[in-house]
Amino acid sequence: MVASATRSLASWSALEHCVGAMGTELPLLDRCGYGPSVPSPLTIYLRNHEAAARAGCDLFRRTAANQRHKPYADELRQVVTEVEEDLNSLRELMRRAGVRPNLLLGSALRLAERVGRLKPNGRLLRRAPLSDLIEIEGLHDAVHAKAAGWRALAGAQQDNWSDSIGVEVLIQRAKGQVDRLAAIHQSVAADVLNPT
């Protein structure tokens, strides 16, 4: 472990030297979440969840836009608003913990979400009916992951910092979102898989 840490510091020193030679300042790397010290597991966990939440917000917004004429569109828009509020709550929790987002990871995940739109769906010029179902399943999975993240953070021993933003309330809200998305999923599945 000491050898690994020494290699990491040596790599950091080499990177610092190269970056300095290019005339770029290291604060950019620090802002991206890459500093000379090894971050704590809590820091890594918060950064990973924040990056995933940013990509998730993109997915929620896109799905709501794609399905804006469906009978459940209002419900879906309400969930989008809540998901955006949840991301802001996570960012506030990170601020209180002194953790900055990992900009590189967040950008990579957001790019991956966009690339995921290029999947083959059996149609070349318009949306396939199955796309509605797949999108709702993605939202359902994302909210399950968010709920698990809130539960994990509720157990973190950080001088009640998670209590200060109401993590238990966020856990309950995520459960409600899961239930609402499950109902939407059931409706979409019935429409898509049983065409008239």
Same domain, 82 and 157: yes
Say whether both 178 and 90 belong to one domain: yes
% of residues, the chain, pLDDT over 70? 67
Q: For residues 11 and 155, what is the distance between their CA atoms, to the nearest angstrom? A: 34
Residue type present at position 32: C
**Do 12 and 89 belong together in one domain?**
no
* Residue 81 or residue 157, greater confidence: 81
Residues 80 and 105 in one domain: yes
Coil vs helix vs strand at 95? helix
pLDDT reported for residue 89: 93
Same-domain pairing of 16 and 54: no
Domain with 81 in it: 40-193
* Residue 162: other Cβ atoms inside 10 A: 21
Do 2 and 92 reside in the same domain of the chain? no
CA distance 93 to 75: 27
Task: Examine the domain organization and report whether 51 and 33 are in the same domain.
Answer: no
Please report the pLDDT score of residue 90 as a whole number. 93
pLDDT at 114 (0 to 100)? 63
pLDDT of 29-44, one tens digit each?
A: 555 555 556 788 899 9
| Same domain, yes or no: 144 and 60 | yes
Q: What is the pLDDT of residues 76-97, one digit of tens each?
A: 999 999 999 999 999 998 898 8
- Give dist(CA 37, CA 73) in Å, integer: 46
Residues 77 and 170 in one domain: yes
Structure tokens given for 158: 């950080």
Could you report the per-residue pLDDT of 101-139, keeping only the tens digit for each? Answer: 877 766 776 676 666 656 655 555 677 778 899 999 999
CA gap 164, 158 in Å, rounded: 11
Question: Residue 140 belongs to a domain with what CATH number?
Answer: 1.20.1260
Are residues 126 and 48 part of one domain? Answer: yes
pLDDT of 17 > 60? The answer is no
Q: What pLDDT, on the 0 to 100 scale, is given for residue 26?
A: 45
Q: Other C-beta atoms within 10 Å of 76: how many? A: 22
**Do 6 and 63 fall within a single domain?**
no
Q: How many domains does the chain have?
A: 2
Same domain, 114 and 19: no
In terms of pTM, does the model score above 0.85? no
4 has a pLDDT exceeding 60: no
Highest mean pLDDT among 9-13, 53-57, 159-163: 53-57
Average pLDDT value for the chain: 78
Q: Which of 149, 48, 58 is nearest to 110 (CA)?
A: 58
